[in-house]
Amino acid sequence: MQLWLPTSPEEVTASWLTKILGYKVKAVEHTSSILKANASKLFVTLTYDDENVDSMKSDEKNPNINRPDKVCIKGGFNMVLIELYPKALIGGYRREAEFFSHVASDFTYIDLPRSYWAGQNKAQGLVIMDDLRALGAEFGEPTNPWSVELVMVGVEQLAGLHAGTWARGCSDYPWAGPEHYEELIWSLVKLWDDLILGSHRPVIPEALKDEKRMRAVLQKYFTSRNPKFQCLVHGDAHIGNTFLIKGEPRFLDWQAVHIGSAFHDVSYFIAGSLTVEDRREHEMRILNHYLDELNIYGGASLSSQDEDLMVEYRKSMLAGLVWLLTPYELQNEERVRAMIERQATALIDHQVIELIESLPDA
């Protein structure tokens, strides 16, 4: 029997939370929500029935670890948006729930939001996690590029993620194949004329406007991932998917997590997080810092002097194409314009299109 999950805020009730948390929830206060986003977030304050304390689940180290007061329930609650992009969005909600169900607790060198429960069915994926706002977190804003120092700390978190799953593949994480990510990109490519050539869209370099050429480049990119650098990747590691605790950056929003090349995350994050000027001046220093941390965390000993690595790093800048294809319904126009400037410039600076075209066919 398929697990029932709420798809509207009104269905998030005390009885449902009691069932899935294992604690008797007496009352639920919906304090606020964010519905106009790729994934909805419901912020909820819970009151428990302490008369039933004996029946509560417990944890040997901390009896109250599964009994949070303020939580964020993340998933798909905006049916209007889901109807526009059903496959991409529902697939993302399910994938994030799988990540928190099966992988999140295994990492040593990356800090994640604490989750209390995660589950998915064919139409929904939900994660119940700490309300990071209540913990004093700040959230990254794509329109505000980061300093070089902050990006250096960010790639340390990516190194921790990649080291923890280095050389693992789809047989280890059958739910994390790259096909969902690829399907998302191809679904957006179908809107090429509107998203790339539309008069309401940002101006992009001429070299990136040819749909036929870019389709061929994308196909070769997807089939030319170097297995030397395979691991579990965040998939959408940009500033808007980060939070900061005491100024230290961490990643959230794991809807695009998949098995891929580590440099999908690294190149995309560096290109999108810095001003164009800072990226041009400091990206090799940041890349080398990432490689040092990856080695320290037990992932792999790699060098930027390796030609294969630099090809993978440059080629992986194509991950930034997703911003050129991002509708304003999924990210607001100001963010899209800011990110396109950084990502498109990186694609041109690194001659990514020409590089991928020069690679041998798979």
Structural domains of the chain sorted by starting position, each given as residue range(s) with its CATH number in brackets: 9-130 (3.30.200.20), 138-358 (3.90.1200)
Residue ranges of alpha helices (H) inside the chain are 14-21, 79-84, 86-102, 148-164, 179-189, 192-195, 211-223, 262-273, 276-296, 307-315, 321-324, 333-349, 352-358
In this structure, what token pair is assigned to residue 97?
Answer: 């729930």
Q: What is the pLDDT of residue 56?
A: 45
Contact 357, 217 (CB under 8 A): yes
Amino acid 65: pLDDT: 54
Give residue 61's pLDDT: 42
The strand pair at 70-75 and 40-48 is best described as antiparallel
- Residue among 226, 239, 249, 246 at smallest CA distance from 323: 239
Question: What per-residue confidence (pLDDT) applies to 66?
Answer: 64
pLDDT for residue 51:
61
8 Å CB contact between 155 and 269: yes
Written as one letter, the residue type at 138 is E
pLDDT at 52: 53
Residue 188 to residue 178: CA distance in whole angstroms: 16
- In this prediction, residue 195 carries a pLDDT of 96
Sheet holding 248-251, edge to edge: 138-139, 242-245, 248-251
The pLDDT value given to residue 86: 87
Average pLDDT per run of 10 along the chain, which is 362 residues long?
90 95 93 87 92 48 66 94 88 96 93 95 96 94 98 98 96 94 94 96 95 97 95 97 94 96 98 98 98 97 97 98 95 96 98 97 79
Q: How many helices (H) and strands (E) does the chain have?
A: 13, 10
With b for 16 or more beta-carbon neighbours within 10 A and e for fewer, the 308-341 pattern comes to ebbbbbbbbbbbbbbbbbbeeebbeeebbbbbbb
User: Considering the entire predicted model, what is its pTM?
Assistant: 0.93
Question: What 3-state class would DSSP assign to 306?
Answer: coil
